[in-house]
Structure 1
Amino acid sequence: MGRPSLAAERREQILRAAARSVARHGLAGSTQERIAAAAGMSRSHVRHYVGNRDELIDALWDHVITPYFASMRDALNDREPAARLPALVDYLFGPQMARNEDDLVIEALISGAMHDVRLRGRIYESYARLEREIAGTIRDAVPGCGQAESLQLAYALICMAFGHSTLAPLPFPATRQAGMKALAAQLLAALEAGHRAPPPPTAAG
């Protein structure tokens, strides 16, 4: 029986090293040589297991962003549509979105995308997919909500959640954090109220 391939293990090792490097040195300072050294490998190993620099950056983006999107889906699965909106707010403004080293990597990649059209498209694709998923959750929970309206609200929630996470290290009062979550819940409640069927007219006395 042949020896199992170590490709997946080596790839994960390289991507963890790349994340540490980008968090510490930024995207421009994270050369393949530096990432290879951090992973305890040669540059040729990095190219073999992950690919060229563009492929490495794409893989790194997936490495840091996919767990957030996957855990959001897990938080919403197996719930009735009406229960998904409170769960969505809890997720977007809960401990899952707390600041960690991944945020430094995500921010470095988004910053790098300002000067890299290819990377910008790659990142946009991920966030546009997240926007569509949240919008679909909203439409499932709020009958009558149209696509344009749900996408607009999904975009607002994403901006609120990621902006909230970005400012979390600053010494704003805890009431600001609670208030942002409450505001998101109010937006969704207002949407539900706006699409709630009016009560049937009562018979004249």
Structure 2
Amino acid sequence: MGRPSLVAERREQILRAAARSVARHGLAGSTQERIAAAAGMSRSHVRHYVGNRDELVDALWDHVITPYFASMREALNDREPAARLPALVDYLFGPQMARNEDDLVIEALISGAMHDVRLRGRIYDSYSRLEREIGETIRAAVPGCGSAESLQLAYALICMAFGHSTLAPLPFPATRQAGMKALAAQMLAALEAAHAAPPSDAGAGASR
């Protein structure tokens, strides 16, 4: 049996080093030389295992964002559709979204996307996919909810959750998080109420 490939291991090593570098030095300051040094490799190794600068940035984005999307899906799996909405709120405003070093990397990449059309499209693809997944979760739990309505609410939930995470380092009262989570739950409850089947008045109509 041949020796197993080290590609996955080396890529992970490089991407962890890239994340540390971007969190500390920003995207512009994270040259391939600096990332290679942090990974204990040469620049040629970085190019061999990950690729050029654009490919490295794309891989770094996937490295930091994919675990959040995957854990959200895991939190919703194996639940009845109606039970997925409270689970979704719990996830978006729970400890899984607590601020950590990943946020520094994500924010640096989003900031870099302001001047990089290619990166902007890459990041948009990820968030629009998240929006669609949340919209699908909403429509499965709320029969009669249309695509446009569910996507609008999905976008609002994403903005609320990620905005709250961004402001977490500021000394707002602890009640702000609970209040934001309660507001998200109220928005979903209002949607469910708006699409609840009205009581049948067939009998009343027949008696008139």
| CA deviation after TM superposition for structure 1 residue 3, in Å | 1.0
Q: Structure 2: how far apart are the matches of 1:86 and 1:157?
A: 12
Q: Structure 1: how far apart are the matches of 2:9 and 2:180?
A: 40
| CA deviation after TM superposition for structure 1 residue 2, in Å | 1.3
Name the structure 2 match of 1:99: 99
| CA deviation after TM superposition for structure 1 residue 201, in Å | 2.2
Runs of 4+ in 1 over 2 A off after TM superposition: 201-205
Identity %: 92
Residues matched between the structures, number:
205
| CA deviation after TM superposition for structure 1 residue 185, in Å | 0.2
Residues 133-186 of structure 1 show CA distances to partners (whole Å, capped at 9, x for unaligned) of: 000000000000000000000000000000010011111111111000000000
Q: CA RMSD in A?
A: 1.1
Matched, 1:192 2:196: no
Alignment of 1:37-56 (within 5 A): 37-56=37-56
| CA deviation after TM superposition for structure 1 residue 28, in Å | 0.2
Name the structure 2 match of 1:121: 121
| CA deviation after TM superposition for structure 1 residue 196, in Å | 0.2
TM-score in terms of structure 2 length: 0.97
Residues 28-57 of structure 1 show CA distances to partners (whole Å, capped at 9, x for unaligned) of: 000000000000000000000000000000
Residues 35-84 of structure 1 show CA distances to partners (whole Å, capped at 9, x for unaligned) of: 00000000000000000000000000000000000000000000000000
- For residues 143 and 43 of structure 1, do their structure 2 counterparts lie closer, same or farther at Cα, with a shift above 3 Å needed? same
- For residues 105 and 204 of structure 1, do their structure 2 counterparts lie closer, same or farther at Cα, with a shift above 3 Å needed? closer
| CA deviation after TM superposition for structure 1 residue 203, in Å | 4.7
Q: Structure 1: how far apart are the matches of 2:4 and 2:132?
A: 38
Name the structure 2 match of 1:15: 15
TM-score in terms of structure 1 length: 0.98
Q: Structure 1: how far apart are the matches of 2:33 and 2:204?
A: 82
| CA deviation after TM superposition for structure 1 residue 202, in Å | 7.5
The secondary structure found in structure 2 opposite 1:203 is helix
| CA deviation after TM superposition for structure 1 residue 129, in Å | 0.1
The secondary structure found in structure 2 opposite 1:13 is helix
Q: Give 5+ residue unaligned stretches, structure 2.
A: none
Name the structure 1 match of 2:149: 149
Name the structure 1 match of 2:30: 30
